[in-house]
Amino acid sequence: MHMADALLSPAVGGTMWAVSAGTIAYCARKVRTDLDDSKVPLMGVLGAFIFAAQMINFSIPATGSSGHLGGGLLLSILLGPYAAFLTLASVLVIQALFFADGGLLALGCNIFNLGFFPAFIAYPFVYRRLIGAQQTRSRMTMAAIVAAVIGLQLGAFGVVLETVTSGLSSLPFSTFVVMMQPIHLAIGVVEGFVTAAVASFVYKARPELIQFSPEARSTGSRPVRGVLLAFLAIAVLTGGFVSWFASKDPDGLEWAIAKVTGKEELRAPAQGLLGTLAEVQQKTAVLPDYSFKKPGETGKDETQPAGQRKNAEGSRLGTSVSGVIGALVTLALALLIGFLLKKRQQAV
Amino acid sequence: MASIDGALLDFKRLDRLATGDTAIHRLDPRAKVLATLVFVVTVVSFGKYEVTALVPFLLFPVAMVALGNLPVSYIIKKIALLCPFALVVGIFNPIFDREVLVQIGSLGITGGWLSFASIVMRSILTVGAAIVLVGVTGFPGVCLALERIGMPRVFAVQLLFLYRYIFVLTDEGSRMERARKLRAFGKKMQPGIFGSLVGHLLLRTWQRAERIHMAMLARGFTGEFHTRKDTEFGSREMLFLFGWSALFIILRFLNLSQLVGSLVTGISP
């Protein structure tokens, strides 16, 4: 599920951009220093493979619906977390640009939700642990399903947190969670099953491709902890910076409060991963309240103080009517300018 | 397999738009990427209930489409198809947010509908900006711009590789799927079949990558693509970037729709 620009606030989007950019830089350095350079074309071509595989649909038994491969876990199994993260990020960049899945600002969120969780959480902490010393088909399937479910649950929860923190959707946090998590449970089971099917096919044909012993050492807790710590530091820093920046915005106190709340919330995914569920629950209670609150401006007119609209019913009617008419006229003007420019372009 | 081929054709069409040769196409990609980023950030920075102030922002994608000579109906179709997630989430706003914020005659508009309209407007603007950026810059251009702004080189090479092979591999995937379909008499793809079909594709991909790598080594590949850098950030780019950015910032603080509306109707706000 791709996060969209339209649901994001700049503080949340900017923070996630910084976090994802930081992780990309870290992984790029890791790949350049640790891996042989034959991995680089391999990563690119495998990214294109994920693209092709996503276009092939399969039918999900007993439901009549169809699904497609997500690929995060499969890439991690094939390439290890760092290269897999870069590859997934590049696939998401293409999707954002060509299919506008989400958009440019949401790219940071999407890379984090769909890349970080499978590559740095689900793969090292779940898949590798479960698969143990010898790979058998049933073990592989089981590990892949559990890892895919956990990765997607975290990703879906990330989408919920980012949306609710941005405050553009009026969906209460609890309702949103109840909507998103079960859907992604089902998607996760299918993803895990298909990942295992592809991985075990490859394992049968060319077992050396599915890396195993060197990976088991290098993905121990140390480098992953490094990534997590770096991510946390970046999140806190940029969260603080962006919200400080945003609070200078003259849009009013409410906006600033929203940004500060945004910063608080952004720490939550990281801490939630470390198990502070109680804190998340506390936020659950606060957030719907916040998203129901109206900002000081009604959105119709920024220059008008909030209090004034209570008593000036007539002027508010005027404001909204002229706002709507003005919007229509502006729309027409924008289109007319476009039309004229196009005419000129063709004449030239 | 109409759907894969259709998607691919659509993708190729967007890719080919970047081969156009207009003043906009010739600008340095960095100017276009940065202006688009400023645009997106400005658009999403508006308050939750803002609708009318967003309308003037349409000028940017519209002007780019016109100046870049992009096919209008194609762009509109692409924008209309996109962003289902934002709309699915947004449609809940009218249900949960029922306080009437705007009264036009006897018609009361609730905050939920207002914020839903705002989300739709944002979707159109942000999605449109991304599509238009690719249409007037092309993917290699965007990559080059990002790399020169500071994206790690490994990632830039990765993006360019991915982009080059998307067309090859999606073609291959769609041929495999078509072959399966022709032999399956309308039976749907089972996950097990999918596993071996995609597994085969993966093995072929892997072998292809090995061949590519050897061929590249034979030609002296050292880990970066050398592209002809025939554009530089000159005065035209400065003008483009700062002109648009200034306009976005003015429009951010000045509701143009409101102003035009009060001019037209004579009702002062």
Extents of the domains making up chain A: 5-292, 314-347
The helices-and-strands tally (H runs, E runs) of chain B is 13, 2
Nearest by CB to A326, which of B22, B164, B259? B259
Q: Which fold has domain A5-292?
A: Arp2/3 complex 21 kDa subunit ARPC3 (1.10.1760)
ipTM of the complex: 0.85
- Give A113→chain B minimum CA distance, Å: 15
The count of CB pairs under 8 A between chains A and B is 419
- Give A277→chain B minimum CA distance, Å: 25
B83, A103: Cβ pair inside 8 Å?
A: yes
Give the separation between CA A337 and CA B170, rounded to whole angstroms: 39
Query: What six digits make up the tokens of A175?
Result: 């309702």
- Residues in CB range of A17: below 8 A, 6 or more apart: A105, A107, A108
Geometric angle at alpha carbon B67, from B133 and B118, rounded to 5°: 55
Q: Which of residues 262-321 of A touch B (CB under 8 A)?
A: 292, 294-295, 297-304, 313, 315-321
pTM (2 d.p.)? 0.75
Per-residue confidence (pLDDT) for residue B38, from 0 to 100:
92
Residue ranges with strand state E in B56-148: 100-104, 107-110
Nearest by CB to A163, which of B40, B89, B210? B89
Per-residue confidence (pLDDT) for residue B39, from 0 to 100:
93
In terms of phi and psi (left: phi > 0; alpha: psi -120 to 50; beta: otherwise), the region of A22 is: alpha
The overall average pLDDT reported for chain B is 83
A337, B188: Cβ pair inside 8 Å?
A: no
Contact of B164 with chain A, judged by CB distance below 8 Å, is answered with yes
In order, the DSSP letters of A105-152 are TTHHHHHIIIIIIIIIIIIIIIIHHHH-SS--HHHHHHHHHHHHHHHH
Confidence of residue B60 (pLDDT cuts 50, 70, 90): very high
Give the separation between CA A326 and CA A316, rounded to whole angstroms: 15
User: Residue A209: which of A56, A23, A32, A46 has the closest Cα?
Assistant: A46
A5, B63: Cβ pair inside 8 Å?
A: no
Give the separation between CA B189 and CA B194, rounded to whole angstroms: 6
Q: Are B42 and B252 in contact (CB under 8 A)?
A: yes
Give the separation between CA A89 and CA A249, rounded to whole angstroms: 32
Give the separation between CA A188 and CA A204, rounded to whole angstroms: 24
B89 vs A contacts (CB less than 8 Å): 4, 7, 163, 169, 171, 176
> B109 by DSSP, 3-state: which?
strand
Each of the 348 residues of chain A gets a pLDDT tens digit; together they read 678 888 888 888 888 989 999 999 888 888 888 766 667 778 888 888 888 888 787 777 666 666 677 888 999 988 888 889 999 999 888 888 887 677 788 889 999 999 999 899 888 888 888 887 777 778 888 888 899 999 888 988 888 888 888 888 888 888 888 888 888 888 888 888 888 888 888 888 877 777 553 444 444 444 555 555 655 665 555 555 544 444 333 333 334 334 444 444 433 343 433 334 444 434 443 333 333 333 443 434 444 444 444 444 445 555 566 666 767 777 777 777 777 777 776 665
Q: Residue B103: beta bridge partners?
A: B108
- Residues in CB range of A222: below 8 A, 6 or more apart: none
Give the separation between CA A47 and CA B163, rounded to whole angstroms: 9
User: Residue A200: which of B70, B194, B117 has the closest Cα?
Assistant: B194
A104, B129: Cβ pair inside 8 Å?
A: yes
Per-residue confidence (pLDDT) for residue A274, from 0 to 100:
38
Torsion B65-A107-B168-B30 (CA) sign = positive
Q: Are A44 and B213 in contact (CB under 8 A)?
A: no
Backbone angles phi, psi at B100, to 5 degrees: -75, 125
Q: Are B152 and A25 in contact (CB under 8 A)?
A: yes
A45, B89: Cβ pair inside 8 Å?
A: no
Give the separation between CA B20 and CA B138, rounded to whole angstroms: 10
Per-residue confidence (pLDDT) for residue A234, from 0 to 100:
58
Domain boundaries, chain B: 1-151+229-259, 152-227
Chain B contact probe: residue of A248, A324, A340, A346 with most B CBs at under 10 A: A324
Backbone angles phi, psi at A296, to 5 degrees: -55, -40
Query: Exposed, middle or buried: residue A35 (CB in 10 Å: 0-12, 13-18, 19+)?
Result: middle
Give the separation between CA B56 and CA A338, rounded to whole angstroms: 12
Nearest by CB to A103, which of B48, B130, B194? B130
